[in-house]
Amino acid sequence: MHATALLLTLLPALATAHFSVTYPTDRGSNSQTQADSPCGGKNTPSSTRTKWPIAGGQLSFEAGHDEANTAVYLALGNNPVKDDFKIILKDKFLQIGLGTFCWNELTVPGDLGIKNGDNATIQVVQAGHSGGGLYNCADITFTDAPMRIAQACVNGTGVSAQEATTSAPSASGSGSAAPAATTSAKPSSAAESVRVAGGALLAGAVGVAAWLL
């Protein structure tokens, strides 16, 4: 079965809570379509992209679930489609608490051949209490110019990260747990310094479906 078709059979038509990416600036959110992969129904890239360091940078979102399995992906190019979100910036973890969740330095793998001026899109994916998947995208342009963070981000009160609540299947689609992987991102608080399951997690829409197996 095609990944999108599988996802639609597993997810309810409407999710019960939503979230927004606050930095880099997202494409916007629509509560009626945020369950649509890959960008919550926002299929047109932003005309104004956020400049983001080639090595990685700050990312923050406002959580609408008090807890949700979450992952962050990257796709290179001007207008990526769902199958392009294969680069894992943050493997699956459990976000806890309502409010701001952020990283001051979310690391980009150094072997991607990214150059100054290249365009890309960051995708944040969540699966909450009901199992409904939610998607949000932020369009960026990579820069090699020194960037100064205007203000270091801090998680909201009671907001933290824990190991994901479900084991990730292997790439073959079996239900066996994959080896644990250590995040390369620098957390915004000590509570976020955790090991997360899912080294072999399938990316994008396939990954969200896999969470529910």
Rounded distance between C-alpha atoms, residue 128 and residue 208, angstroms:
11
Residues 96-106: pLDDT tens digits? 999 999 999 99
Asked whether the predicted pLDDT for residue 10 surpasses 50, the reply is: no
Residues 29-61: pLDDT tens digits? 778 899 999 999 999 999 999 999 999 999 999
What pLDDT shows up at residue 194?
A: 32
Residue type at 205 in one-letter notation: A
What pLDDT shows up at residue 112?
A: 97
Q: How far is CA 104 from the centre of its chain?
A: 15
Rounded distance between C-alpha atoms, residue 168 and residue 174, angstroms:
9
Domains and CATH numbers, the chain: 3-211 (2.70.50)
Residues 141-153: pLDDT tens digits? 999 998 877 788 9
Question: Contact at 8 Å (CB) between 24 and 138?
Answer: yes
Residues 202-213: pLDDT tens digits? 333 334 434 322
Higher pLDDT, 148 or 190: 148
What pLDDT shows up at residue 14?
A: 38
What pLDDT shows up at residue 211?
A: 39
Q: What is the percent of the chain with per-residue pLDDT over 70, rounded to a whole number?
A: 67
Which residues on adjacent β-strands are paired with residue 53? 143
What pLDDT shows up at residue 143?
A: 97
Q: How far is CA 145 from the centre of its chain?
A: 25
Question: Contact at 8 Å (CB) between 127 and 15?
Answer: no
Asked whether the predicted pLDDT for residue 6 surpasses 50, the reply is: no
Can you give the pTM of this predicted structure? Answer: 0.73
What pLDDT shows up at residue 167?
A: 41
Tell me which residue of 153, 198, 142 sits closest to 175, measured CA to CA: 198
Asked whether the predicted pLDDT for residue 3 surpasses 80, the reply is: no
